[in-house]
Homo-oligomer: A and B are copies of this chain.
């Protein structure tokens, strides 16, 4: 823990009062020049602006948020900064926040409950104007705590939050799983592996359910047709490592297609297959989820379920703004539809 001693010779930068003295007006007037310039007469405003320029004064946001009880920053808490899915969401949120004059504090849970908790606490300490949060697991108590602390939020990719505490924006994960499943069934695959992460993550559970329902509606038994491999994390390394398990049973017994809970997993898995000399889609079909940019860059292109990433972030922030502007705001749940993107990694099963 560094103690951050201020440099001895460090003078505090000029404040509003010093500007006032310099311009021969009262601090209140300077504040008005900054916040409601129309209320102050032309010549005075000019004098103040000159003083501001001369001292190169910059407003101290601690002072103002202390006074108002609210800072002008909003938080975005993501599960994993290194996942391109989230960075795209961040872009959307950032653009919308910039329009509202709000700064975005990007925080990373790194899929850890402890870090999520620490970050939410930080937002409360900062008296953040609001937050957009992708919860790390089913336990929403941290979010309820944040709500009690008076920080409004919007949940991302998590449709099951109580409507009296916050909004949510998500994509229909069941529909996504269903679309992927129908695609595979339509191609004649009857033995499929679902490669997934910790079942605590609601999103991937629902994708799994969708996949199962696709089999059920075609009169196939999901329990017999789908085998599941659970991995501790949703990253490429884990995907690559899972190849062994997925290939168990040999060519006659093993799955002919693999659905991954996430593109990151799928990309790693495909790499692992390549290393084994297996060809996609000839030997095995692979389908991902998210449609991250690289999905179109690999060869063969990765068939995947696209989510409107940028729009997701942008909409979440829009909902948050609505909440900030309107005191009697009613929380709502928004649900986007996913879209199946066909590329080269899936093909018909040749028995």
Q: Which residues of A line the B interface, CB within 8 A? A: 1-8, 10-13, 56, 58-63, 65-66, 68-72, 81-82, 84, 87-88, 90-91, 94, 99-108, 110, 121-122, 124-127, 129, 145, 148-150, 236, 267-268, 270-271, 274, 293-294, 296-299, 321, 324-325, 327
Contact = CB atoms under 8 A, between A and B. Distances in A.
A91 B100 contact: no
Contacts of A72: 4
Contacts of A129: 4
Contacts of A60: 66, 125, 127
A30 B6 CA distance: 23
Contacts of A71: 62
Given A69-B12, A94-B108, A3 B297 contact: no
Contact of A327 (B8, B127, B270, B274): B8
Interface centre among A56, A100, A101, A299 (most CB of B within 10 A): A299
Given A150-B13, A299-B298, A70 B125 contact: no
Given A60-B66, A62-B63, A81-B91, 15 more contacts: A4-B72, A4-B324, A5-B324, A6-B69, A7-B327, A12-B69, A56-B145, A61-B125, A62-B62, A62-B126, A82-B91, A106-B106, A267-B294, A268-B297, A271-B297
A294 B1 CA distance: 35
Contacts of A94: 81, 108
A3 B125 CA distance: 21
Nearest to A101: B1
Given A12-B69, A62-B127, A325 B2 contact: yes
6 contacts: A2-B101, A58-B121, A62-B62, A62-B63, A82-B84, A82-B293
